[in-house]
A and B are shown apart, each in its own frame.
Chain A
Amino acid sequence: MAYSAEISRTNPTAFVFLVDQSASMNDPIGGEIPQRKADVVADAINRLLTELSVKCAKEEGVRDYFHVAVVGYGQSVGSAFSGDLEGRDLVPLSQVADNPARVEERPKKVPDGAGGLVETTTRFPVWMEPVANGGTPMVRALQYAETLVAKWLADHPGCFPPIVLNLTDGESTDGDPSTAAVDVQTHASADGATLLFNLHVSASEATPVTFPESDEDLPDAYARTLFGMSSTLPPDMRSYASQQGFEISDVTRGFVYNADIASVVQFLDIGTRATDLR
């Protein structure tokens, strides 16, 4: 059965994040406290890397179940890591875990369990800083991901298929990304084709859509294009998503529209949880 390969140190897989860093990411996204889209997305990536590191932490440290690339696209296309990992593409997860650019002390109000709120601080590792500059060369970004994935698969023909996760606010400025998206998904391991998921961060007031099975309810053409580019969720991921309370069918796609901050993390979470780490 496809999408059932073991993810282990001897059979690791690749996770490629594509992060829209175009000028439009400067725009605020709705919510009670408006935030810049670039901040939302950077936060999501940092959380995700934390989540992955925790998931793969064992007695002796973080294990290299995954190799991770964070690719930014805007003014240019390339690694979006800051700090020691700057300029690197696929990095073994243990190195990612040990080398955030910095660890931020974040003040946080948390419920005290008795109905009140108390102030506390949490340490939050940061690998990627928010950037918003230039156009949205999504086609080039997808081609970049394709190169990484193809090279990875040449060395790991039996791995769980690599996952490419694209976070964007919509419009590609270097052409229709659809065929580039199809091309990424032609690269396959013995366990299945590369998965491409999309997260559409939008300032629009339209209702958020999470894991839809058709583009009917999507409000704009960009969302529909991104939906069309997204892979259907493989069975394991479907069962996780439905465990999380999402309505899921066989044609559900790995796409989230106008996701608020919570569903950003949720989405990423499921993407990684879907794989049974053994």
Chain B
Amino acid sequence: MVQFPSGAAYVEALQNTRLCFAEPDLKGAKVELDKLARPRPISGNFASVFSVTTAAGKRHAIKCFTREVADQTVRYRAISDHLNRVEGRWKVGFEYLQRGVLVEGRWYPVLKMDWVEGTGLTRWIEQHVHDQRALVGLAERFAALVADLADAGIAHGDLQHGNLLVASDGSLRLVDYDGMYVPALDGMKAAEMGHRNYQSPLRSDVDFRPDVDRFSAWVIYLSLVSVAADPALWGQLHQQGGEYLLLAEEDYTDPAGSSRFPILLDHQVPEVRELVARVRGMLGAPVTALPPLTPITFTTAQSSGTFRPVQPAAPLPPWMADHVLPTEPVPRARFVGRDSSLTAVALVAPLLVVGTVLLAVLAPAGVALTGVCGLLLWFASTFAVYRARQETRAKRREYARLDELDARLLDINQRLAVLTEEGDALAKSAAQRAASEKVLKAGLQERHRKETAAIDTEAQRQLASIMSRRGGMGAERKRELDQALADLRAEHVRQRLATVSIADAGLEGLGGKLVANLREAGIATAADFAGVNYVTNSQAQNKNPFFRLPSGLTVRVPGFGAVKASRLEDWRQKQEWIARNSQPTGLPDSLRRIIESRFAQRVRDLDELEQQVKASAMQQKALVNERFTADLVAIADQVRAANAVTAQRRVEHDRAVRRCHGEIEAARTAHLIAARETTAYDSITYPRFLRFAFTGR
């Protein structure tokens, strides 16, 4: 497989012909330049063609290929061999050069052709629309060219306006032999399928035979003849810039919906009608069953054949400017064929008149009345004869046709009005749809916004609570450490106090009895009581001491009055003070670490919780987003489908409108012609008939 350079790559390479060409006469040759002073390409589907003039002054068309053509070398050799044996002015001399052009370090083949001084078919037709003789001449030469090809066993493969050039003497040149069939290539497939506006809808790439040009030949011939017959058809059927002549692909694939076929099929010129009807009939036929082009013989045999001379009836409405109308004045219709019976009837009249006058003078009124009656009867019968005359009938027919055309115009205009309404409705419903889609989308967006916001709010709430918990943690930790220290100290004091016995204290007034009593109450050391409560005795007016035990209970100890109890209490307080002096100043590290690590764990737990909250929010949001996107895509799918349907409807609508306009124009032309024809019957009147009956003129 060869990858060919692009058109622009060739333009770049051809900026230096000394480098890019190998052929001696092309080396350094002058390439025609464009407005930007770069080589000027003429591009087709498969190649870009450049005009190159050698030092000797010979102008060539250098065809540089941009796409692979299967078996190109073989094909061109076969075509070249075959063409060398065939005569024909249509031929363009060429040479297939394997080492043609150097692009980016690689050689590619080119086709070196003689430059054809000619005008492309479309442009030529535009220049000759009103030159009937030239058009008819070209149609004839085209038919001859097609016959020559057939005789030589050749098919061009892509007959179309771009490949037909008209030289200044009006002769035709055929270019682009890429897709050409010659007998030596039999059995191959077609290299290309030809221009879509010139092919039978049934052509396929297996159709590579001597007769593949038939459909396109008919299409081109039909176009030339039709424009020759009626230049208005060019403006009517050929859209400026269209890549076709009068008929295009859509007409072949859907003739029923075609806006162009009816205009041609109903055309006033019979040659056009017949040709088009033939082509219309070929649409369903397999490619192999198409008849060869058979040129028509023109009705008026002048030198090159012209159609019935025609001239417009002045003044023309603007839309008629191009229409060809009969040129000679409409011949007046006359009564002809005064036979003896008519003469006899006519002769009765003077007799009746004379008779009636005489009767009126001579006879009584009643008899005279008979004469008048006779006269009336005569008028009645001659009028009946007038009505039955073929001239009068022809006149009525003409007027009826005019009425019919009026009705048709009315009908088409009504259809057009309906179409216009439909078009408006289409636009309106499309606008409505667009609006409702907007609403739908806005709704989705709003829902999405709300859902996302709800997720955010909830996550925020949880995060805030985590944050506050984390914030409280410092104080809590300090509290716990303090507490631990306090506990530690209390225990130290307790233990110390437990080692100081009351019995050993030797307190004044606290004999063995009292010590025993204390022991009885469970108080042996300074640790065994916490203090003394004094309860005032209401009768005795003195205070009774109650010892507070570490358990929180209070006891009375026999033998203790307030004085002794308070002495013991003071002693205890002193012991406690001594114990406090040796209490620990801080928490030991081990204990501190245990507490700290418990708190570190709690912080980690909170961190994890925070991550979880965040992740869960993100996950929820991802789900919401996913659904939102899916919903948007679903809407988009619907919108796209609906847009495509609308576009399709609009295309159909536009086509129907064009068709109506075409019909209106055709009907108007017919109407104008018919109206003109009716003027011929201005002379067909009853008084004229009477004159004719009497005088024969």
Chain A residues packing against B (C-beta within 8 Å): 6, 8-10, 47, 50-51, 54-60, 63-64, 98, 100, 103, 110-113, 118, 120-123, 125, 153, 157-158, 178-179, 182-183, 185-193, 243-245, 269, 273, 276-278
Contact = CB atoms under 8 A, between A and B. Distances in A.
Contacts of A111: 102, 104-105
A158 B249 CA distance: 14
Interface string B634-646: 0010011001101
Given A110-B19, A122-B12, A243 B107 contact: no
A185 B40 CA distance: 36
Interface stretch (B3-11, B365-373, B685-693): B3-11
B640 A193 contact: yes
14 contacts: A8-B243, A9-B242, A54-B7, A54-B43, A59-B42, A98-B35, A103-B36, A110-B105, A111-B105, A112-B19, A157-B647, A158-B651, A185-B636, A186-B640
A102 B67 CA distance: 30
Given A9-B243, A10-B242, A58-B42, 16 more contacts: A6-B196, A6-B249, A9-B242, A10-B241, A54-B8, A54-B43, A57-B41, A57-B42, A100-B36, A110-B19, A110-B105, A122-B16, A187-B643, A188-B640, A193-B640, A244-B3
B647 A122 contact: no
B141 to A, nearest CB: 21
A243 B42 CA distance: 23
Contacts of A8: 241-243
Contacts of A56: 43
A113 B650 CA distance: 55
Interface in B92-109: 102, 104-105, 107
A18 B206 CA distance: 42
A103 B38 CA distance: 10
9 residue pairs, one from A and one from B, having the closest CB atoms: A111-B105, A9-B241, A54-B7, A157-B650, A188-B644, A157-B647, A190-B648, A158-B651, A190-B647
B515 interface: no
Contact of B239 (A10, A50, A110, A158): A10
A54 B48 contact: yes
B643 A186 contact: yes
A123 B639 contact: no
A121 B643 CA distance: 49
B126 to A, nearest CB: 11
Interface in B24-68: 34-38, 40-43, 45, 48, 67-68
Contacts of A179: 629, 632
B262 interface: no
B41 A54 contact: yes
Contacts of B639: 186
Nearest to A58: B42
Given A6-B196, A245-B1, A51 B640 contact: no
B102 A113 contact: yes
Contacts of B249: 6
A278 B19 contact: no
A74 to B, nearest CB: 27
B636 A245 contact: no
Nearest to B37: A123
A53 to B, nearest CB: 8
Contacts of B633: 182
A118 B105 CA distance: 11
A190 B644 contact: yes
A182 B444 CA distance: 15
A110 B104 contact: yes
Contact of B11 (A50, A120, A178, A278): A50
B86 to A, nearest CB: 27
A188 B643 contact: yes
B305 interface: no
A60 B162 CA distance: 12
B643 A54 contact: no
B543 interface: no
B197 interface: yes
Contact of B105 (A113, A157, A244): A113
Interface in B640-697: 640, 643-644, 646-648, 650-651, 654
Given A58-B42, A60-B123, A189 B105 contact: no
A183 B636 contact: yes
A55 B644 contact: no
Interface in B398-431: none
Interface string B120-144: 1001000000000000000000000
Given A103-B36, A244-B3, A153 B242 contact: no
Contact of B6 (A9, A51, A110): A51
Contact of A186 (B15, B104, B636): B636
A98 B22 CA distance: 31
Contacts of A187: 640, 643
Contacts of A185: 636, 640
Contact of A243 (B12, B43, B68, B243): B68
Q: Please indicate which of the listed interface residues A122, A178, A278 has the most CB atoms of chain B within 10 Å of its own CB.
A: A278
A229 B50 CA distance: 40
B378 to A, nearest CB: 68
B195 interface: yes
A269 B249 CA distance: 27
Contacts of B11: 50, 54
Interface string B218-245: 0000000000000000000001111100
Contacts of B240: 9-10
Contacts of A178: 629
B242 A113 contact: no
A100 B37 CA distance: 12
Query: Which of A125, A157, A191, A192 has the most chain B CB atoms closer than 10 A to its own CB?
Result: A157
